[in-house]
A and B are shown apart, each in its own frame.
Chain A
């Protein structure tokens, strides 16, 4: 299910990975394989508007061009990606010489005269990232800017290239790119969050960037012919999807996996998986690795003939249930239904995760969490206290 009218997303806006591999041929090949696969149905210009069911038995409504189709499926992978933050600062959209990192890629690809004729280029890092409202690091921008800076130097070794940064993290083997950039003469200038660069427009439409160099201790002025902003990666329109699939989001709005180390592509909701930028900012190679993992995890669900419910699930004794529905409201997984004709509630054990919140909420204590019934816990309490009684008697 793709929102746009083509497959490929942001990958098509990138030129190459940090290792120098070309991206477009890879994506084109992948798109051809997906669209040509007899068992893959692609919905373009489409959006999921409703999700019903549970692992192995989902029914999602896909709306496309005013038409709605219900698609039955066994598992779901959420890979809605993310977007670049559109800065309000640094004259973006006000001066044509200010562009975002991906627009820089496009300009490099198309040999835009703004770039090819430039004598001086500057990059500003952490635009919108690591701010109070977006405290996270967008991870890919350091490498991306260093990479673009190297391309510019290759284009014209005499070009002055400046990277204005807060902290530079070209992590892992990408460190070599940073070294290469330094060797090629890219100048790195550090600034602090409270001393951000100031970008002004000169009378002739040029740019003037002033930044307080932390090492020199004095303000430095640059007049770049092109300014690239490494803007933050933000996720949008994700809340509705998260609600429909009953999966959590973290504080920054990215999708939150079940366990960072033990279940990195699963959600707490079974049969739903996550991959890519929707999870958190990451470079293409990591997104691909994660996507493969998510696909493998989803295949685990799909290749089973039947799914067994976990042992620890709740069950309601219909004889004692008064049909008050206190349990229906508290169930975080929507696993309890009220059966009107019998005036009792019933647990769908395929949906039940066994938290027992319903058992804790039942006024008549008629809900049993198998393996953790109230009766068992009463007995445990009795026993814990009885031992003490014996001890006390023995001690006299």
Chain B
């Protein structure tokens, strides 16, 4: 980390079947992307409780990324649709917590889309760098 540039921290919830495998492939393929993500493996994007997202943000993560299989390709039929529904609710919650909507992002990444995973990570890091630290980030 350089002194003058802010490095955001992103908690990324990746589903076991698509996005986690996609992230894994990005690593295996040695695709370069910013090291700002911290991946938490979950079985399905549909199991991510909104409280987990809010918890991560209020504990000082600068952004939360939620990744699941493409719609219609969920390993559990439609967990990702549930995640999509919750994401809409989360946008409202973010507002209540005084956070910018850009701090939460939902993406569909399949297990073959390593490049896409790297792009999303890079994009989100860039967005958060421009946005600055989260008000809950006390690391200074």
Which A positions have Cβ atoms within 8 angstroms of B?
A: 246, 248, 268, 312, 330, 332-333, 353-357, 359-362, 365, 369, 372, 374, 377-378, 380-382, 384-385, 388-389, 391-392, 395
Cα(A102)–Cα(B3), bound, Å: 76
The minimal Cβ–Cβ distance linking A20 to chain B, given in whole angstroms, is 40
The minimal Cβ–Cβ distance linking A329 to chain B, given in whole angstroms, is 10
Give 24 A-B contacts (CB < 8 Å), ordered by A residue: A248-B77, A268-B77, A330-B82, A332-B76, A333-B76, A353-B76, A355-B44, A356-B42, A357-B47, A360-B50, A361-B49, A365-B49, A372-B42, A372-B47, A381-B40, A381-B52, A381-B59, A384-B11, A384-B38, A385-B11, A385-B56, A385-B61, A391-B1, A392-B139
Is B122 interfacial (CB-CB < 8 Å)?
no
| Neighbouring B residues of A354 by C-beta, 8 Å | 43
| Neighbouring A residues of B79 by C-beta, 8 Å | 332, 355-357
Cα(A287)–Cα(B140), bound, Å: 64
Q: Do the beta carbons of A355 and B52 come within 8 Å of each other?
A: no
The minimal Cβ–Cβ distance linking A266 to chain B, given in whole angstroms, is 12
Interface of A is mostly: helix
**What are the 10 closest A-B residue pairs judged by CB atoms, nearest first?**
A356-B47, A355-B76, A384-B38, A357-B46, A332-B77, A355-B44, A360-B47, A392-B139, A360-B49, A381-B56
Q: Do the beta carbons of B43 and A355 come within 8 Å of each other?
A: yes
Q: Do the beta carbons of B55 and A268 come within 8 Å of each other?
A: no
Is B9 interfacial (CB-CB < 8 Å)?
yes
- With both beta carbons as reference points, the residue of chain A lying nearest to B77 in the complex is identified as A332
Q: Given A353-B76, A356-B43 in contact, is the A388-B49 Cβ separation under 8 Å?
A: no
Q: Given A332-B77, A385-B60 in contact, is the A360-B86 Cβ separation under 8 Å?
A: yes
Q: Mark B82-107, 1 if CB is under 8 A from A, else 0.
A: 11001000000000000000000000
> Which of A268, A356, A385, A395 sits near B46, CB closer than 8 Å?
A356
Q: Do the beta carbons of A381 and B47 come within 8 Å of each other?
A: no
* Interface hub of B47, B51, B61, B139 (most chain A Cβ within 10 A): B47
The minimal Cβ–Cβ distance linking B14 to chain A, given in whole angstroms, is 12
Cα(A353)–Cα(B44), bound, Å: 11
> Which of A332, A365, A369, A380 sits near B51, CB closer than 8 Å?
A365
Is B78 interfacial (CB-CB < 8 Å)?
yes
| Neighbouring B residues of A330 by C-beta, 8 Å | 46, 82
| Neighbouring A residues of B75 by C-beta, 8 Å | 268, 355
| Neighbouring A residues of B11 by C-beta, 8 Å | 381, 384-385
| Neighbouring A residues of B82 by C-beta, 8 Å | 330, 357, 360-361
The minimal Cβ–Cβ distance linking A322 to chain B, given in whole angstroms, is 16
Q: Do the beta carbons of A359 and B59 come within 8 Å of each other?
A: no
Is B48 interfacial (CB-CB < 8 Å)?
yes
| Neighbouring B residues of A268 by C-beta, 8 Å | 75-77
